[in-house]
Amino acid sequence: MSKIVVIGSCSVDFTTYAPRLPNPGETLIGTKFTTSYGGKGANQCVAAAKLGGKTSMICRLGNDQWGDKYRDNLEQVGVDTTYVKLTPNVTTGIAQISVAESGENQIVIVPGANGLLSKDDVKNSAKIITNAEVLIGQLETPFETTLEAFKLNKGIKLLNAAPARTGIDDILPYCSILCVNEPEASLLTGIDVTINNAVTALKKLLETGCESVIITLGPEGAVYLSKHEQQAVHVLCEHVTPVDTTGAGDAFVGALATYLVTYKDQSMHQIIGAACHVATVSVTKEGTQTSYPSKFDAFKKEYKFTEL
Protein backbone atom coordinates (compact mmCIF):
# COMPACT_ATOMS: atom_id res chain seq x y z
CA MET A 1 0.00 0.00 0.00
CA SER A 2 1.39 3.41 -0.98
CA LYS A 3 2.21 5.69 1.94
CA ILE A 4 1.86 8.88 -0.14
CA VAL A 5 -1.17 9.21 -2.41
CA VAL A 6 -1.60 12.16 -4.74
CA ILE A 7 -4.94 12.98 -6.31
CA GLY A 8 -4.58 15.65 -8.94
CA SER A 9 -3.41 16.82 -12.31
CA CYS A 10 -1.05 15.67 -15.04
CA SER A 11 -0.05 17.99 -17.87
CA VAL A 12 2.46 17.98 -20.68
CA ASP A 13 4.63 21.10 -20.47
CA PHE A 14 5.52 22.99 -23.63
CA THR A 15 8.22 25.39 -22.46
CA THR A 16 9.87 28.28 -24.29
CA TYR A 17 12.92 30.09 -22.98
CA ALA A 18 13.61 33.76 -23.77
CA PRO A 19 15.75 36.61 -22.38
CA ARG A 20 12.66 38.00 -20.64
CA LEU A 21 8.91 37.49 -20.43
CA PRO A 22 6.86 39.16 -23.19
CA ASN A 23 4.67 42.18 -22.55
CA PRO A 24 0.99 41.97 -23.61
CA GLY A 25 0.76 41.83 -27.42
CA GLU A 26 4.53 41.49 -27.81
CA THR A 27 6.34 38.76 -29.78
CA LEU A 28 9.81 37.74 -28.61
CA ILE A 29 12.43 35.51 -30.22
CA GLY A 30 13.14 32.66 -27.83
CA THR A 31 16.33 30.70 -27.28
CA LYS A 32 15.02 27.17 -26.72
CA PHE A 33 11.89 24.97 -26.69
CA THR A 34 11.34 21.81 -24.65
CA THR A 35 8.54 19.31 -24.09
CA SER A 36 8.34 17.68 -20.67
CA TYR A 37 5.95 16.26 -18.08
CA GLY A 38 4.22 18.44 -15.50
CA GLY A 39 0.93 19.23 -13.77
CA LYS A 40 0.95 20.10 -10.08
CA GLY A 41 -0.33 16.72 -8.89
CA ALA A 42 2.08 14.63 -10.92
CA ASN A 43 4.97 16.99 -10.14
CA GLN A 44 4.41 16.53 -6.42
CA CYS A 45 4.07 12.78 -6.80
CA VAL A 46 7.26 12.51 -8.87
CA ALA A 47 9.17 14.74 -6.45
CA ALA A 48 8.17 12.41 -3.60
CA ALA A 49 8.97 9.26 -5.58
CA LYS A 50 12.41 10.49 -6.61
CA LEU A 51 13.21 11.12 -2.95
CA GLY A 52 12.31 7.53 -2.11
CA GLY A 53 8.65 7.96 -1.16
CA LYS A 54 6.28 5.07 -1.85
CA THR A 55 3.76 6.88 -4.01
CA SER A 56 0.53 6.34 -5.93
CA MET A 57 -1.10 8.73 -8.41
CA ILE A 58 -4.86 9.11 -8.96
CA CYS A 59 -5.46 11.08 -12.13
CA ARG A 60 -6.94 11.27 -15.61
CA LEU A 61 -4.95 11.35 -18.86
CA GLY A 62 -6.28 11.69 -22.38
CA ASN A 63 -6.37 8.66 -24.66
CA ASP A 64 -4.11 10.54 -27.08
CA GLN A 65 -0.45 10.53 -28.11
CA TRP A 66 0.56 11.81 -24.65
CA GLY A 67 -1.51 9.60 -22.33
CA ASP A 68 0.50 6.37 -22.61
CA LYS A 69 3.78 8.30 -22.63
CA TYR A 70 2.86 10.11 -19.46
CA ARG A 71 1.85 6.92 -17.65
CA ASP A 72 5.15 5.34 -18.70
CA ASN A 73 6.99 8.38 -17.34
CA LEU A 74 5.33 7.96 -13.94
CA GLU A 75 6.17 4.26 -13.82
CA GLN A 76 9.81 4.92 -14.72
CA VAL A 77 10.29 7.01 -11.57
CA GLY A 78 8.55 4.42 -9.38
CA VAL A 79 5.01 5.81 -9.09
CA ASP A 80 2.18 3.27 -8.77
CA THR A 81 -0.15 3.95 -11.73
CA THR A 82 -2.96 1.52 -10.84
CA TYR A 83 -5.41 4.43 -10.65
CA VAL A 84 -4.13 6.43 -13.63
CA LYS A 85 -7.03 6.38 -16.11
CA LEU A 86 -6.80 6.99 -19.84
CA THR A 87 -9.95 8.87 -20.88
CA PRO A 88 -11.35 8.66 -24.43
CA ASN A 89 -12.37 11.66 -26.54
CA VAL A 90 -10.37 14.20 -24.56
CA THR A 91 -6.80 15.50 -24.66
CA THR A 92 -4.20 15.09 -21.96
CA GLY A 93 -3.82 18.32 -20.02
CA ILE A 94 -1.20 20.74 -21.34
CA ALA A 95 0.67 23.72 -19.94
CA GLN A 96 2.25 26.46 -22.04
CA ILE A 97 5.19 27.90 -20.11
CA SER A 98 7.47 30.85 -20.81
CA VAL A 99 10.70 31.15 -18.82
CA ALA A 100 12.93 34.23 -18.65
CA GLU A 101 16.69 34.26 -18.08
CA SER A 102 15.96 35.56 -14.55
CA GLY A 103 14.09 32.33 -13.80
CA GLU A 104 10.68 34.03 -13.75
CA ASN A 105 7.88 32.22 -15.56
CA GLN A 106 4.37 32.58 -16.96
CA ILE A 107 2.03 29.57 -17.32
CA VAL A 108 -1.23 28.95 -19.19
CA ILE A 109 -2.98 25.63 -18.44
CA VAL A 110 -5.55 23.76 -20.56
CA PRO A 111 -6.98 21.08 -18.20
CA GLY A 112 -8.21 18.52 -20.76
CA ALA A 113 -8.71 15.15 -19.06
CA ASN A 114 -7.86 16.67 -15.68
CA GLY A 115 -11.29 18.28 -15.68
CA LEU A 116 -12.93 14.84 -15.71
CA LEU A 117 -11.36 13.51 -12.52
CA SER A 118 -14.49 12.56 -10.59
CA LYS A 119 -15.99 11.21 -7.38
CA ASP A 120 -16.15 7.84 -9.14
CA ASP A 121 -12.34 7.92 -9.33
CA VAL A 122 -12.29 8.50 -5.58
CA LYS A 123 -14.72 5.64 -5.03
CA ASN A 124 -12.63 3.29 -7.17
CA SER A 125 -9.48 4.12 -5.21
CA ALA A 126 -11.11 4.50 -1.79
CA LYS A 127 -8.91 1.92 -0.05
CA ILE A 128 -5.57 3.56 -0.84
CA ILE A 129 -7.01 7.04 -0.19
CA THR A 130 -8.35 6.03 3.21
CA ASN A 131 -5.14 4.34 4.35
CA ALA A 132 -2.52 6.74 2.92
CA GLU A 133 -0.18 8.20 5.53
CA VAL A 134 -0.19 11.43 3.50
CA LEU A 135 -2.84 12.43 0.97
CA ILE A 136 -1.93 15.36 -1.29
CA GLY A 137 -4.42 17.46 -3.24
CA GLN A 138 -4.32 20.67 -5.28
CA LEU A 139 -6.81 22.85 -7.20
CA GLU A 140 -6.08 21.96 -10.85
CA THR A 141 -8.76 19.24 -10.87
CA PRO A 142 -12.45 19.43 -9.85
CA PHE A 143 -12.76 20.73 -6.30
CA GLU A 144 -15.55 18.36 -5.28
CA THR A 145 -13.37 15.36 -6.19
CA THR A 146 -10.52 16.50 -3.96
CA LEU A 147 -12.97 17.28 -1.15
CA GLU A 148 -14.43 13.78 -1.38
CA ALA A 149 -10.96 12.26 -1.08
CA PHE A 150 -10.04 14.43 1.91
CA LYS A 151 -13.20 13.30 3.71
CA LEU A 152 -12.05 9.68 3.38
CA ASN A 153 -8.42 9.88 4.41
CA LYS A 154 -7.42 8.95 7.98
CA GLY A 155 -3.85 10.27 7.81
CA ILE A 156 -2.21 13.61 7.06
CA LYS A 157 -4.20 15.60 4.50
CA LEU A 158 -1.92 18.07 2.72
CA LEU A 159 -3.66 20.65 0.52
CA ASN A 160 -1.58 22.79 -1.81
CA ALA A 161 -4.24 25.43 -2.55
CA ALA A 162 -2.94 26.23 -6.03
CA PRO A 163 -3.67 27.68 -8.49
CA ALA A 164 -4.99 30.50 -6.33
CA ARG A 165 -8.77 30.63 -5.98
CA THR A 166 -11.48 31.34 -3.47
CA GLY A 167 -14.53 29.22 -2.67
CA ILE A 168 -12.59 26.40 -1.02
CA ASP A 169 -13.87 26.89 2.53
CA ASP A 170 -15.52 23.44 2.64
CA ILE A 171 -12.22 21.56 2.40
CA LEU A 172 -10.15 23.60 4.85
CA PRO A 173 -11.47 21.97 8.06
CA TYR A 174 -10.29 18.62 6.65
CA CYS A 175 -6.73 19.88 6.07
CA SER A 176 -3.96 18.71 8.36
CA ILE A 177 -1.63 21.07 6.49
CA LEU A 178 -2.58 23.94 4.19
CA CYS A 179 0.38 24.93 2.01
CA VAL A 180 0.23 28.15 -0.03
CA ASN A 181 2.62 30.69 -1.47
CA GLU A 182 2.38 34.46 -0.91
CA PRO A 183 -0.11 35.26 -3.74
CA GLU A 184 -2.30 32.30 -2.77
CA ALA A 185 -2.23 33.33 0.89
CA SER A 186 -3.06 36.90 -0.12
CA LEU A 187 -6.14 35.79 -2.05
CA LEU A 188 -7.40 33.59 0.79
CA THR A 189 -6.83 36.18 3.53
CA GLY A 190 -7.61 39.42 1.69
CA ILE A 191 -4.31 40.96 2.76
CA ASP A 192 -1.09 41.53 0.82
CA VAL A 193 1.00 38.82 2.46
CA THR A 194 4.71 39.45 3.04
CA ILE A 195 7.20 38.22 5.60
CA ASN A 196 6.36 41.32 7.65
CA ASN A 197 2.71 40.36 8.17
CA ALA A 198 3.08 36.59 7.80
CA VAL A 199 1.98 35.86 11.38
CA THR A 200 -1.28 37.71 10.81
CA ALA A 201 -1.84 35.72 7.61
CA LEU A 202 -1.03 32.41 9.31
CA LYS A 203 -3.47 33.09 12.14
CA LYS A 204 -6.19 34.16 9.74
CA LEU A 205 -5.75 30.97 7.71
CA LEU A 206 -5.90 28.85 10.86
CA GLU A 207 -9.28 30.41 11.58
CA THR A 208 -10.63 28.62 8.47
CA GLY A 209 -10.41 25.31 10.33
CA CYS A 210 -7.18 23.75 9.04
CA GLU A 211 -4.83 22.27 11.62
CA SER A 212 -1.63 23.95 10.45
CA VAL A 213 -0.46 26.34 7.73
CA ILE A 214 2.74 26.74 5.72
CA ILE A 215 3.31 29.82 3.57
CA THR A 216 6.25 29.41 1.19
CA LEU A 217 8.27 32.53 0.47
CA GLY A 218 10.47 31.52 -2.48
CA PRO A 219 14.11 32.37 -1.73
CA GLU A 220 13.13 33.55 1.76
CA GLY A 221 12.13 30.04 2.86
CA ALA A 222 8.78 29.40 4.55
CA VAL A 223 6.73 30.33 7.61
CA TYR A 224 4.73 27.85 9.67
CA LEU A 225 2.13 27.86 12.43
CA SER A 226 -0.06 25.15 13.95
CA LYS A 227 -3.16 25.60 16.10
CA HIS A 228 -1.38 23.44 18.69
CA GLU A 229 1.56 25.87 18.98
CA GLN A 230 1.86 29.41 20.30
CA GLN A 231 4.74 30.61 18.15
CA ALA A 232 5.09 30.89 14.38
CA VAL A 233 8.49 30.07 12.90
CA HIS A 234 10.34 31.32 9.83
CA VAL A 235 12.49 28.60 8.28
CA LEU A 236 15.35 29.98 6.20
CA CYS A 237 16.87 28.49 3.06
CA GLU A 238 20.05 28.87 1.06
CA HIS A 239 20.11 31.60 -1.58
CA VAL A 240 21.09 30.50 -5.09
CA THR A 241 21.00 31.97 -8.59
CA PRO A 242 17.82 30.52 -10.15
CA VAL A 243 17.83 28.98 -13.62
CA ASP A 244 14.16 27.95 -13.80
CA THR A 245 11.68 28.33 -10.93
CA THR A 246 8.92 26.31 -12.64
CA GLY A 247 7.63 23.59 -10.32
CA ALA A 248 9.67 24.62 -7.28
CA GLY A 249 6.56 24.80 -5.12
CA ASP A 250 5.65 21.28 -6.21
CA ALA A 251 9.13 20.06 -5.30
CA PHE A 252 8.57 21.53 -1.84
CA VAL A 253 5.21 19.78 -1.40
CA GLY A 254 6.48 16.41 -2.61
CA ALA A 255 9.52 16.61 -0.36
CA LEU A 256 7.41 17.72 2.59
CA ALA A 257 5.16 14.68 2.21
CA THR A 258 8.12 12.32 1.92
CA TYR A 259 9.86 13.67 5.00
CA LEU A 260 6.64 13.67 7.03
CA VAL A 261 6.55 9.91 6.44
CA THR A 262 10.23 9.03 6.70
CA TYR A 263 11.35 11.43 9.47
CA LYS A 264 8.46 11.36 11.93
CA ASP A 265 10.82 12.01 14.84
CA GLN A 266 12.13 15.27 13.38
CA SER A 267 10.82 18.69 14.34
CA MET A 268 8.50 20.41 11.89
CA HIS A 269 10.96 23.22 11.24
CA GLN A 270 13.59 20.65 10.26
CA ILE A 271 11.19 18.88 7.89
CA ILE A 272 10.21 22.20 6.31
CA GLY A 273 13.86 23.18 6.01
CA ALA A 274 14.69 19.95 4.19
CA ALA A 275 11.75 20.50 1.83
CA CYS A 276 12.98 24.05 1.18
CA HIS A 277 16.38 22.58 0.36
CA VAL A 278 14.86 20.24 -2.25
CA ALA A 279 12.97 23.16 -3.82
CA THR A 280 16.18 25.22 -3.85
CA VAL A 281 18.06 22.44 -5.64
CA SER A 282 15.27 22.25 -8.23
CA VAL A 283 15.52 25.92 -9.29
CA THR A 284 19.19 25.52 -10.21
CA LYS A 285 18.23 23.31 -13.18
CA GLU A 286 15.95 23.70 -16.19
CA GLY A 287 12.66 21.86 -16.41
CA THR A 288 10.12 20.68 -13.88
CA GLN A 289 10.17 16.99 -12.95
CA THR A 290 13.61 16.62 -14.54
CA SER A 291 14.98 19.20 -12.10
CA TYR A 292 13.90 17.31 -8.98
CA PRO A 293 16.73 15.63 -7.09
CA SER A 294 16.92 11.91 -6.49
CA LYS A 295 17.09 10.46 -2.99
CA PHE A 296 19.70 12.08 -0.80
CA ASP A 297 20.13 12.85 2.88
CA ALA A 298 18.53 16.26 3.33
CA PHE A 299 19.06 16.07 7.08
CA LYS A 300 22.83 16.35 7.07
CA LYS A 301 22.57 19.88 8.43
CA GLU A 302 20.44 21.75 10.91
CA TYR A 303 18.15 24.19 9.15
CA LYS A 304 18.04 27.68 10.61
CA PHE A 305 14.81 29.20 11.81
CA THR A 306 13.59 32.23 13.75
CA GLU A 307 10.50 32.67 15.86
CA LEU A 308 8.06 35.33 14.66
CATH class of 4-10+39-89+114-307: alpha beta
Q: Is 218 annotated as a binding residue?
A: yes
**pLDDT tens per residue across span 9-66:** 999 989 899 999 999 999 999 999 999 999 999 999 999 999 999 999 999 999 999 9
* Least confident stretch, 112-116, 122-126, 204-208, 287-291: 287-291
Q: According to the model, what pLDDT value does residue 297 have?
A: 62
- Please list, in sequence order, all residues whose beta carbon lies within 8 angstroms of the beta carbon of residue 62, skipping any fewer than 6 positions away: 86, 87, 90, 91, 92, 93, 112, 113
Q: According to the model, what pLDDT value does residue 207 have?
A: 96
Domain boundaries, the chain: 4-10+39-89+114-307
Using 50, 70 and 90 to split pLDDT, how confident is the model at 104?
confident
Q: What share of the chain has pLDDT > 70, as a percent? A: 97
Q: Is 217 annotated as a binding residue?
A: yes
Residue in 250, 217, 221 with CA at minimum distance from that of residue 48: 250
Q: According to the model, what pLDDT value does residue 298 have?
A: 65
Q: How confident is the prediction for the chain on average, in pLDDT?
A: 93
* Least confident stretch, 170-179, 219-228, 234-243, 296-305: 296-305
**pLDDT tens per residue across span 129-157:** 999 999 999 999 999 999 999 999 999 99
Q: Which of 120, 169, 250, 265 is catalytic?
A: 250
Residue in 296, 220, 279, 299 with CA at minimum distance from that of residue 43: 279
Which helix (H) or strand (E) segment holds residue 258: the answer is helix 248-262
Using 50, 70 and 90 to split pLDDT, how confident is the model at 300?
low
Residue in 1, 126, 119 with CA at minimum distance from that of residue 55: 1
Using 50, 70 and 90 to split pLDDT, how confident is the model at 222?
very high
Q: Is 11 annotated as a binding residue?
A: yes
**250 counts as catalytic:** yes
Mean pLDDT along residues 261-282: 93
Q: What is the pTM of this model?
A: 0.91
